Every structure is written in structure tokens, then in C-alpha cells.
Structure 1
Amino acid sequence: MTHNRTDMEVPYLSTDVSQDFESSLNLKVIYMIIKAKRIRNLELHFRWLPPGKRIVFGVSAIDRFQSLLTKIGFTDTLQIGESVLPPPAFGSISRFNALGKLIIHKDRPKETAYRMVEWHWQEWRGKNSSEEQSKLVDVPYKRYPRTFVLPPSVELKIAAQSQEGEKLITSPMMTYDKRNRTQLLHTINLFLDIFGECQVFHENLDAIINVPIKHLNWTVLPPGRYPWSRLKSQVQSLIQRVPTGNQKMIDNRLETINKHEPDFVAVGRAGFRGYIIFGFTAKNLFVLESIYFGNATYILGERWEELSALTKAEILSEHLHKDRVIHRVGWHRQIQKLLFA
């Protein structure tokens, strides 16, 4: 029987033998396949699963998704243990998973916010002579208050149910519990958003979970000092993805940080695309700059080995920040003070 992807929430169950599901619970490998665009009713699909059960979501027969796995950010060799945050390119769920979202409160009075822009003018130098001048200014505007919701940052991993078993793409291990309902639904819908299906594994999980992780979210540039002209060539494709009016300011911020000669530079890839970390290891400082989201530069104090293993939500959460420098007039002065302290 062929099961096509559908908007209807009809549970589709698959086991490795054709017999009643209840009598097959003692089998070693049992999984259920959900095929839909999205599900909203968790209980409809999991009435058979007891609370407290450990489960892993994923897809098998991954050769079907070869080109898709490259877009997600896995290497061509698909080594067991590779882990990556999917980019926001597949749909609304993957976008929220990688970028988070803004809740705009239209039921509240508008507030004053500021947008930093570059202001240009001609300064006269004498008869028939002028020179173009520019400076950064804060332009106030009114907007509804907004709350930023951190991205769930669910990463996908290559695993197998045994040393010789076929490779799987899996989620982190979760516990089936009503308290985890939001996380469970989001993870299922993330697989549906990317692959159009989601399998549920609840046996032989130790082999799936206990795999050394190789995070693929960052590309660390080769050691050495990078003059801005050299570094800019590495990140130019990122800068060009943002609106033209913002490119000069992003370019200026990155160049300003780089003038302080970081020990290394790490460029985000896959779901971290658009993030750049400048490392100053002698000062135990890491400067996180984003070309897309947020209105601040984050100063972090973790070691790189620990920082590179964190999810995006963990990196953006406030408890890791040693400082946060708002993108407004005065930003350059504060960065200078922090990096010369």
C-alpha cells in the first residue's frame, strides 16, 4: 500500500511483521511512521505509548534523502555521530527551530525603538568644492512591543541501532510525557517539515544515543591573523544576503571587532549561518556577531571547546553573556572598552 503525504492527521503505523500491533510489542525493533505536513494532536498518534517511555524520532533508509542531507549540513561521507542544526530553509518549523520568532503585542501601546543608519551629507570646503561626510545616527520610530522567543535548536544526528545497522537520522532522546508535549510536537513537525515523514523508535535506543558527537555547526578558519580584506572575502557571501541598506553597518561592525586581532574566527554554517564568533583566548572572551537577528553583540566567556558544543538557544540565552552591546550609537566605544580592558 502506498501512503502519500497528506494534511490529515491519520496515524500510519509500520512494524517489521504484518500482525496486530498490540501483539508485536515484544519485538526488538518497532517503529511507527507519521506522514503528514504537520500534526497538532500528540495523543492521537501515541495512545499506545505509556508515559515515561524513552523515544527517539528520526528517519531510516537515508539514501533516499542524499541531496537533502547535504542541504541540511551533513558531510558527503555521512559519518555516524555527525550532528548539525538544520538551516531555516525548509519551512516554517525549520525556520522557527533555527531562528526563533518574534511575538508582536498589538494589544499594547506602541513603544519607541531605534534603528541605526548611516547619514551622509556634503560639507563645503570652499568655492565649488565639497567633501562627502558620514556618521552613524539613531533614528527613532514607533512599533508595537515584541518578545523574542528563543529557537528550540533541535539538532539532527546520524546514528544506527547497532554497529552494523543501517544509518538513521535521529533527534535527541526524549521522554514521552505530557510535560514535554511542546518539545515532542515541535520535533515531530521538524522532521515532517524537512523529510515529509517521521519515524518513532523506542527500542535499542542505547546504540542510537551513545554515539560520540561531532558537531558541524561551525567552520573555524585556519589559525593566523586575518586583515579585514582577507576576512571579508570569507564572509562576503553572508553580508550580501541582507538588505543593501544594512550591509555597510554590518561590514563596519565586523571590521571594528577584527581590528582587535582575534586569535581565531569561526563562521556559522547550516542553522548557525549568519553568525560569526571572534575568539580572544588570552582574555577568555568570545564575541558573537549576527548579520541577521537581534540588535546586539554578545560577549561570551566560555572556552571554545564548550561553546562550540552548545545549541543556539544555549548560546543566545542570557546566563552565558558576560556583556551585551546594543547596536546603537556608542557601540564602537563600548566594544573598544571591552576588548581593551
Structure 2
Amino acid sequence: MAEWKKGFRALPQTIRAEIDRIEGTDIKVLAGKRISAADVAAGTYAHLGLTAETLQVGQRWEVVPPMGAGTTSKRNGEGWTVTRRDLPKYRKYFYRDIAIYGDAARNGWTTAAIPRDVYETDSYPPYLFQIEVLVQEALDDARFGIVFSVDEVFSKQSASFEEDLLFAVNLLQENTGVSGVAAAANPDFVFTSQLRWDVFPPGQIADLAMRIQQNGGRNPPDLAKITERLELFEQFQPVEYLKGLGGNDHYIGAKYADNLVVFENMRHGNALYVLYDDWATLSQKPRSEILKLPTSKFDRIIHTEGWTNRFAKLMQHELQLRGVRIRIGRNQRRRQH
């Protein structure tokens, strides 16, 4: 195994801060790492089953870390005891057979109770946590994005939350060299904030939604949500549909002109973005950076009451600026050149 920091005495501040940002109560121990084929060939991660044969995008499996990987892995596999030196000793009797007057052949044996002052001990059974391995994507720098996680969900409401979480964090850190946490309801890791697109031509909405979902990688968006959004986009007759690639596979969008593109994060689903000039570059920026752009470069339609009507009026205006007339009816909108 490679040399990296094996564990922590307490939860790192970065992990504590991330826990505070997670709104839900359930936490997953999860982290991503960029790994080269050379590291895999060298056997750095062979103890987790990551080899040249398994280094294929989309492959996933679970493994109980070998006990030889380190202290936490050994405890995970066979349990451990803790001597409570913080508590006072107590008197305990140990029993053993001894020869009577030192001559068992002549006098026989007797059982003696031998008193001894000892510390309390806490015994922990083996957790037998497994590490989940996912070869999520091939990155542009010839490395692979690997997601490692522990197959357990930890509740903030548990009395032993910090103790259990620290154990799982150390188990992941010891075996992979990385550690982190995520909301159990959304256990994803994005290796790049740049949003790259796959392009789909217009077609029947039901078939298109199915194709987009099947191409959605890990934890694809809900089919009904994809269909609903595509039906909205379709009313304005896009020339292409867009689907995020890699770790951003939860983004879908529609292109209406070279300088008019709409997209949305289907996982969060709280706002729709309309980009104008240089959309291919702007769409690769993280959402936090897009929001800092001049308002002339984008519009953000927050999903509050009446947002679809606001979107329709915006699209009518933008398409008219590009020589396309849109008639907004009660139940449909038609595009006319």
C-alpha cells in the first residue's frame, strides 16, 4: 500500500464543516480520488479489488478491507477492547487449579480464587463495514475518477454518531488516502466543476427522456422529472437537447440558437438558467460562478409560483430578438418563422 495519512484522532474540521452544511440527519462517508492506471498497475489499491481488470468506467463492487491494511481495518474485521484507565480499578477474582501443598500426586488439586485489582474494559464486536468502490469516470488527464464510500448510513441523532463516524472516516482514510462525507440522500462526488455536454437531436419526448435517463450514469434523474422538463423545453422547439457528462450527469438542457441555451440541475431542481453569448464556455462554470456573472449574460428563473409563465415570456422575447415569433396560447406555444 502507498504511504498516506492513515487516520485521525478526531474528526477533521473540514468534515465537521461539511456535516454542518448537510441539512438532513443521515450521513454517508464518501470521497473521490483521481487515480492513474500506473498506480493501479503498481497494486496500490489491489487490497480493495481495484486492478487493471476492474478499472473500467461503470464498474462497482464492495469489499471488507483486509485486516492487514492497518489498525482500523483490523478492528473492523475482528473487534477490539479498550482498557478504561479513566475509571478506578475494581477487585476481580481469577480462578486457577493449584496442587495441594505443592504435591498434586500425593495431595491432589484444589481451585484457588486469586484477587486482583483491574481496570474496566469495553469490548467492541467487529463492524465488518465494507468499502464500496465505483469507477465513476475517465478524466481528461488520463486518470480515472474513483468514488470510495463506506456501506453504512450514520444518523446525526444517534448517541454514538461522532464515534461511529470517526471509525468509518478512519477506515476509508486508511485504505484509500482520502475521506469525506455527503448527505446519504445524495451520495455523489463530482470530480470536475466543468460541465461537458452530450448532444441529443429532437425526437419523441418519451423516447428522448428514456435515452437521457439511460445515459445518466450513477443515480440518474427521475424519468418523470426529465419528461416534464423536456415537455416544457419542447414547446419552444429546440434544435438540440443537452445532457451533462461524467459527474455532472444530472444536468439537462436545450439549445434554441447558438446564443440561446437553457439548462437545469435536475437533482436540485430549484432554478432554470438561460445563457446567451458564449454559452458553451459559460455553462462549464460552477453555479456559484455563474451567479457572479453580469446579468446581461444569463437569466435565472427560480422555481417559485408562476415560474413557467415567466420562462415562457422570456423565451418569447429572446426568440423574437433572433427572428423567431412565438405565439403563447392557453395550453400551447407555437414557434413561427
Q: Same fold (TM over 0.5)?
A: no
Query: Which structure: larger Rg?
Result: 2
Per the normalisation by structure 2, the TM-score is 0.40
Per the normalisation by structure 1, the TM-score is 0.39
Query: Higher relative contact order by CA 8 Å / sep ≥ 6: 1 or 2?
Result: 1
